[in-house]
Amino acid sequence: MAEPAWIKALESARRCDCMIQVGTSGTVMPAATLPSEAKAAGAKVITIDPNEGGGDVWLQGTAATVLPRLVEAACDSLGEK
């Protein structure tokens, strides 16, 4: 990641309460360190992937199937359509 995007991503990871990690092998550096930075700062990490990941919560499936359902559930819980 080029600057200033990397610094902004790192700062955001360290400030977030929850990070959603979507469809990644978690091996491309330095971006692969962002979930561990978030966890070290106290955030929960949700992994969306067909294969089990290193998050606190694993939602099994592809981004194309899981993300729309996740957004729908969030909107339902907020009473939005």
CATH of the domain at 50: 3.40.50.1220
pTM: 0.81
3-12 per-position pLDDT tens digit: 899 999 999 9
Domain that holds residue 41: 5-78
36-56 per-position pLDDT tens digit: 999 999 999 999 999 887 789
DSSP 14-58: HH-SEEEEES--S-STTGGGHHHHHHHTT-EEEEEESS--SSSEE
Backbone φ and ψ for 15, nearest 5 degrees, come out as -105, -10
Question: What domain count does the chain have?
Answer: 1
Residue type, position 79, single letter: G
DSSP 59: E
